[in-house]
Amino acid sequence: MDALLLRSLQSYVIHTFGPSSWQKVCSTAGLTVPTFEPMLRYDPGTADRIALMVAGVLGRSVDTVWEDVGTYLVTNPDQEGVRRLLRFGGTCYADFLHSLEELPGRARLALPHFEAPDLTLDEVGPDRFELRCRSPVRGLQRVLVGLLTAMADDFGALCLIQPGEDGCTVISVLDRRHAEARHFHLALPEG
What tens-digit pLDDT sequence spans the chain (191 residues)?
688 899 999 999 999 999 999 999 999 999 988 899 888 888 889 999 999 999 999 999 999 999 999 999 999 988 888 888 888 778 899 999 999 988 877 777 766 666 778 899 999 999 999 999 998 889 999 999 999 999 999 999 999 999 999 999 999 999 877 877 776 666 666 65
C-beta neighbour count of 125 within 10 angstroms: 9
Domain count, the chain: 2
- CA neighbours within 13 Å on the CB side: how many for 127? 13
Here the CATH number for the domain that contains residue 143 is 3.90.1520.10
pTM: 0.90
- Co-location of 65 and 117 in the same domain: no
In a domain, 190, yes or no: no
Q: Which domain holds residue 104?
A: 81-175
> Is 159 inside any structural domain?
yes
Compute CA 70 distance to the chain's CA centroid, rounded to the nearest angstrom.
3
